[in-house]
Structure 1
Amino acid sequence: MALHKGNVKTCQELVNELQHKKGPEQAEKLVFEGVEGHDVYNITAPFLDRGEYVIAGRVERRDTEHSEVVFFVEKNGVWVRREGAPVFELQDPFYTIIHGELLFGGVQIFPHPTIENALGWRTVFYKGYSIDELTECAKGPDGMKDIRLVELKDGTIGVLTRPQGDKGGRGKIGFVKIASLEELTTEVIEGAPLLVGQFIDDEWGGANEAHLLSNGLVGILGHIASFDEEGNRHYYPMVFVLNPETGDHSDIQLIGTRSDFLEGEAKRPDLVDVVFSGGLVRKSDGTAHFYAGISDAEAQKIVVEDPFLQFEK
């Protein structure tokens, strides 16, 4: 499948395309224990830590944005808090492995420096050889979420960014390469060139997870989003593939919509149609397990056709 500079498609066009494809299967709600009175959503996919699979999840009460990131392990089909694991005052956790070390991060909120009663945010990164050893190693620019890293085939590091405002409007994806984590500075992140031809100005998107494919391309799991006329948000899980040498990329494709998941509660009425991509676990049978936050109130998993296989052939 050819890569190019991208053809912009709206959320509605992407939804229409998806209706002609085989839908996801086996929707399942993840059940969490040890966090009574709180929702768990915007989770990572399970990852291995000290020989045990863990999930990091955003944990918060329904009436607030102040959240913690908690680590869970599975016992008898239920995800329970991992004993002794650290808790981070963050939103929307993510992880990757860089040069054999766990790189973990999330969104840190703080009182906005100039707007009264408003919050600012930034992405914070931690590294260590296990969850228990994580120490802060970098911060993104104020006002930027959805910064993701991936170790490339030659050992360099790809950095996906998402500026807003003068450079990115409501949110567009940028990409830059660095040689080591020491080069992950706010200046480098802010300077990353934008990928061309992904979002119309009224819509936005970001990267949630990056996968190094067998041929050196980077498969990106992300989201594309829009407002409707009533001000409701619509978030869709999407994928595309990037050539880290040229910056060329495939068109965005959706891998599901809210209706592919089980019905459930929502944090607010304007967040009902939100699927926030968490992680994708690729399987040897050509499928992938897709983990997502649903309606800012729950976490679910579905089985999809592996969306990156088409680019590895």
Structure 2
Amino acid sequence: MPDLFPGLPPGYAARPTTADDIGDIHRLVATCERELYGRVQTDLGRIAADFARPGLVPELDTLLIHDRAGRLAARAWVNRRSEVDVHPEHRGRGLGSGLLAWAEARAGQAGSARIVQTVPDNDRNAVALFRSRGYEPMVTEWLLEFLMPEEPALHEPPVGITVRPFRGGDEHDAHELVEDAFDEWQQRRKTYQEWARHTVERPTFAPAMSALAFDDGQLVGAVLSLDLPDAGEGYIEQVAVRRDHRNRGIARLLLRNAFRAFYQRGRRACVLGTHSDTGALNLYLRVGMTVRHSSTVFRKDL
């Protein structure tokens, strides 16, 4: 047991994560999400992409807690930000607070100036824990949904704009467009490899439900989608429009195309996540989306 996580309750054992653990971690996260939201929101590809974050050293930056029967009871990772999940059957035994303390210590050891974690607003125990340890709110995140009892209507595209689904060969242009658009608020640009792990290389990536906008052959907008089998709904992973083509209705047009494509595949809901730094909430509300639930990104200076 690492010295950075003392006081492990009897009957539990801790070790770092390996690639073979990704399936078990996904099952743990899915269980936590069902208990909190009534449905699964995270796919296996997201867990794998987090495990492959640039700079993350599994032997130092991850920790799994198993019970005496060998079942995964809790997990944590830290790499500029952190995540801690405890199985509902193992809460109230100090695992969450212990893993949070371990994550803070590891972040400080790695030279990070602060640690960041997202906490659902309706998880009052977790919110209280973070506040008690000196965390402060940084931004608000929202998961929005678009319900589709009937096929969504499409609008005419702006003059000169054409729309088509994503296809092979679009990957690098889409990466450049997204990173340029996100430069306004993200802390750092993602390399193509890191970006692709979270989007086009995920098993749930849905090119037929991802819409691209072009102006005279140049990519000016993109909606990149995932089809989440556990949730039975579509997920918009990224929305980006080139700066000089904004306020023309391109994002709304692409979202509507993605919604309609999901409807035609039998999905009756589509969701996406955004946060207060992007300034995009009103856009999604105007499209007809509503807030399903909110979370707070907490930070603590180390």
Report TM bin, short chain: under 0.3
TM-score, normalization: structure 1?
0.25
Name the structure where helix makes up a greater proportion of residues: 2
Rg larger for: 2
Q: Give the structure with the larger strand fraction.
A: 1
Relative contact order (C-alpha < 8 Å, sep 6+): which is higher?
2
TM-score by length of 2: 0.25
